[in-house]
C-alpha cells in the first residue's frame, strides 16, 4: 500500500498536476482501493475543519505585509545602508545581499518575496560593478531562503498547524539558527572570495558619516520586526494579531514615506489573494490526505516498519534528512512539507526528538530545496529578475550555500540548544 501510494504521488507530480489536485486525487484513490469505509463522506467536515482555524488568518496577513514591503520600494534604501557597512569585506556586495535578505526575512515571512526583492535591487548594481554573476546571484537565492526560517515565517505557521506545535515557540526557535545561517553565508562568501577573488567583485569603502546617516533606512524594517515579533513575546498579541499589527505598521510607514498609492494597495491585495488561495488549497487537500492516510493505516504501517527495523533514533533521523534532500530536488517546498509532515513528525516525536527542534531542522532542509535544481524555486525567481544570462550561473552559484546549509544541519543535530535555547527562556 505504501509503495502504491508513493507511485501514484510521483506519477501525478511528474505529470505536472497542480499540487492541491495531486493531494486530493491521491486521497480519493487510496479511499477507493484501500479503505473499508467510504471516507469521501467525511470530506466536507475534514475540509471545513482544516480551514476554519483562527491561526491560519496569519498567513494572508503576513503575505500582505511582504507584498507591501516589496511594492513600496523600501528595500532599496535598506540595501544601500547595509552596503555601506559591509561592502569592504572580501566579496563586497555579496554580504549586502545576504544582510538585506536577513532583514527582510524578519518581516516578509516568504523566501520567494525576499529573493525577488533583493534581486531587483542588487542585480543591476552587481552588473554595473562587474561582479561574477555566479556567486552573486547564488548569494541572492540563498539569502532569500532565510525568509522561511527567521520569524515571522509562513512555513513555520504551517508546520505548527499540522503538528499542533506552539507558533511562538517555533518563532523563537527559528531566530538563532536563522541568524547563525546568515553568518555562515557571510563567512563562507568571504572565505571563497579570499581563496579566489574573481568569484566576488570590488570591495568599496564608505565614510563613517555616510554609514551613520544611512542607518535611517533600516528603521522601517526594524520597526516592523519589533512590532510583529515584539508584540508576540511581550504577550500583547497572538501571531495572527501580530500579523495584522504588522500590516497596519507597514501601511503607516509606506504612507509616511510617500510610497503608498491605490495602485500599490490593489497590486498587494491581488498578490496576497493569489498566494493565499494556493496555500489554503494545498493545506485543505493535505488535511484530507492526512485523514485518509491515518484511516487506511499507512501512517501506522510506516511507523511500525521503522520501529521494527531497529535503526535507532539517529540513524532514522539521518534517513529522514536524506529523504528530504532527495525529495527537495523534485517537489516544491510547501508541497513537500504538507505531504511528509503528517507521516514523518509522529515518527520523529516517538523517537524522543523535540517537535520544536525538528520543525527548525525541517525548515532548514526545506530551505535547501529552494536552491537545489531542478525545482529550486528561488533559482527561477532570481533568474527571472536577472532577465538574461545562462540559468546554470544561478545553479552553480547557489551550490556553495547548499554546503553551508549542510554544515548548519550538522550543527543543529549536534547542538540542539541552538534551536531550543530561546524557547526554553519563554517556558
What burial letters (b/e) apply to 111-146, b meaning 16+ CB within 10 Å? Answer: bbbbbbbbbbbbbebbeeeebbbbbbbbbbbbbbbb
User: Residues in the chain with pLDDT < 50?
Assistant: none
Mean pLDDT rounded to a whole number for the chain? 82
Q: What distance in Å separates the CA atoms of residue 310 and residue 339, rounded to the nearest whole number? A: 25
pLDDT tens column, 20-32: 787 788 888 887 8
Residue 411 CA to residue 184 CA, distance in Å, equals 11
Instruction: Say if residue 374 is preceded by a cis peptide, omega within 30 of 0.
Output: yes
DSSP 318-329: HHHHHHHHHHHT
Q: Which helix (H) or strand (E) holds 138?
A: helix 133-144
Q: How many CB atoms lie within 10 A of CB 392?
A: 11
The whole-number pLDDT of residue 287 equals 74
Q: What is the pLDDT of residue 110?
A: 67
* pLDDT recorded at residue 173: 93
Angle at 158 between CA 315 and CA 421, to 5 degrees: 60
Hey, how many other C-beta atoms are within 10 angstroms of the C-beta on 412? 21
Predicted local confidence at residue 310, as pLDDT: 67
3-state helix, strand, coil in the chain (%, to 5): 80, 0, 20
- Give the per-residue SS3 of 29-66: HHHHHHCCCCHHHHHHHHHHHHHCCHHHHHHHHHHHHH
Confidence at residue 50, expressed as pLDDT on a 0 to 100 scale: 67
b vs e for 278-312, b when ≥16 Cβ sit within 10 Å of the residue's Cβ?
Answer: ebbbbbbbbbbbbbbbebbebbeebeeebeeeeee
pLDDT computed for residue 102 by the predictor? 86
pLDDT for 417 equals 95
Confidence at residue 90, expressed as pLDDT on a 0 to 100 scale: 83
**Helix or strand or coil: residue 109?**
coil
Q: Helix 74-86 and helix 58-71: axis angle, to 10°?
A: 70
Nearest residue to 377 via CA among 175, 142, 136: 142
Helices (DSSP H) in 257-390: which residue ranges?
262-296, 298-309, 313-328, 333-350, 355-369, 377-386
**Per-residue confidence (pLDDT) for residue 70, from 0 to 100:** 72
Amino acid 109: pLDDT: 63
Amino acid at each position: 500500500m505504501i509503495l502504491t501510494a508513493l507511485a501514484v504521488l510521483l506519477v501525478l507530480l511528474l505529470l505536472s498536476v497542480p499540487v492541491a489536485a495531486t493531494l486530493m486525487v491521491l486521497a480519493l484513490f487510496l479511499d477507493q482501493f484501500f479503505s473499508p469505509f467510504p471516507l469521501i463522506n467525511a470530506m466536507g467536515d475534514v475540509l471545513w475543519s482544516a480551514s476554519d482555524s483562527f491561526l491560519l488568518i496569519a498567513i494572508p496577513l503576513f503575505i500582505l505585509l511582504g507584498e507591501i514591503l516589496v511594492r513600496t520600494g523600501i528595500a532599496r534604501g535598506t540595501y544601500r545602508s547595509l552596503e555601506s557597512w559591509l561592502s569592504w569585506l572580501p566579496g563586497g556586495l555579496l554580504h549586502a545581499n545576504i544582510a538585506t535578505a536577513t532583514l527582510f526575512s524578519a518581516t516578509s515571512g516568504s523566501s520567494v518575496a525576499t529573493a525577488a526583492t533583493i534581486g531587483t535591487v542588487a542585480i543591476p548594481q552587481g552588473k554595473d560593478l562587474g561582479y561574477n554573476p555566479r556567486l552573486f546571484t547564488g548569494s541572492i537565492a540563498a539569502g532569500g531562503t532565510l525568509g522561511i526560517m527567521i520569524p515571522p515565517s509562513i512555513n513555520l505557521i504551517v508546520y505548527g498547524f499540522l503538528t499542533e506545535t506552539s507558533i511562538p515557540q517555533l518563532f523563537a526557535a527559528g531566530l538563532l539558527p536563522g541568524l547563525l545561517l546568515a553568518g555562515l553565508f557571510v563567512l563562507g562568501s568571504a572565505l571563497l572570495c579570499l581563496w579566489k577573488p574573481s568569484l566576488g567583485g570590488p570591495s568599496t569603502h564608505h565614510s563613517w558619516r555616510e554609514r551613520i546617516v544611512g542607518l535611517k533606512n533600516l528603521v522601517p524594517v526594524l520597526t516592523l520586526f519589533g512590532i510583529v515579533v515584539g508584540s508576540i513575546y511581550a504577550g500583547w498579541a497572538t501571531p495572527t494579531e501580530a500579523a495584522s499589527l504588522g500590516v497596519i505598521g507597514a501601511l503607516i510607514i509606506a504612507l509616511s514615506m510617500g510610497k503608498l498609492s491605490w495602485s500599490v494597495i490593489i497590486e498587494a491585495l491581488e498578490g496576497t489573494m493569489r498566494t493565499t488561495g494556493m496555500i489554503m488549497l494545498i493545506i485543505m487537500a493535505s488535511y484530507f490526505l492526512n485523514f485518509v492516510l491515518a484511516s487506511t493505516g499507512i501512517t501506522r504501517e510506516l511507523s511500525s516498519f521503522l520501529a521494527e527495523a531497529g535503526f535507532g533514533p539517529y540513524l532514522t533521523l539521518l534517513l529522514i534528512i536524506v529523504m528530504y534532500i532527495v525529495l527537495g530536488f523534485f517537489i516544491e517546498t510547501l508541497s513537500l512539507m504538507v505531504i511528509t509532515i503528517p507521516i514523518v513528525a509522529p515518527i520523529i516525536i516517538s523517537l524522543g526528538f523535540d517537535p520544536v527542534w525538528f520543525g527548525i531542522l525541517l525548515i532548514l532542509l526545506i530551505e535547501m530545496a529552494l536552491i537545489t535544481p531542478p525545482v529550486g524555486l528561488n533559482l527561477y525567481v532570481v533568474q527571472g529578475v536577472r532577465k538574461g544570462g545562462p540559468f546554470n550561473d544561478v545553479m552553480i552559484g547557489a551550490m556553495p550555500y547548499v554546503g553551508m546549509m549542510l554544515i548548519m544541519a550538522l550543527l543543529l543535530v549536534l547542538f540542539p540548544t541552538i534551536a531550543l535555547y530561546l524557547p526554553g527562556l519563554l517556558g
